[in-house]
Amino acid sequence: MKHFRMRGRINLGCLFITALIIAGGYVGYKFGRVYMAKYFLDKKAFQIAGDAAEDWKAKTYRSNRDIAEAVLIEARSRGVDITLDNIVAERNDQTVTIQVSWEGDIVIPFYTHHFDFTIDHTRTLK
């Protein structure tokens, strides 16, 4: 029976696979953070549009600016870097419309990905 002594060397295949896993996790984190923020902001904008549509007497959201500020508060809590100028809220006799535009860059070593998201929800007054 042979006895192998550990000499502190590492298998190159194991090192390569570990490096790939770490790189994939880093890229997934950078992209995932932005796309998850977009997903949750999209859902929240849909919910706020629905709440404003149900609130036809304008008790909760008294103006279009109040609707836009509610979306902005949610965006800031998700780490989305937008201003009130990127949010358009309109309420008329029949519908509530919320439009959010957001663009930026995801920077990773040797690559920059530009994204441009537009969220648009229209809900009918109840």
Residue 84 falls inside a structural domain: yes
Question: Which pTM value belongs to this model?
Answer: 0.80
Q: Is residue 2 part of a domain?
A: no
Q: Is residue 70 part of a domain?
A: yes
Terminal Cα distance for the chain, rounded = 82
For 43-97, how does the pLDDT look when each residue is reduced to its tens digit (9 = 90+)?
999 999 999 888 767 788 888 999 999 999 999 999 899 999 999 999 988 999 9
CATH number for position 20: 3.10.450
Amino acid at 118: T
Give 68's Cβ-side CA count (13 Å radius): 16
Is 65 part of any domain?
Answer: yes
Compute, in degrees rounded to 10, the torsion defined by CA atoms 48, 45, 36, 75.
-90
Asked, for residue 24, whether it belongs to a domain, the answer is yes
Residue 99 lies in a domain: yes
Cα gap 126→122, rounded to integer Å: 13
Domain that holds residue 53: 12-124
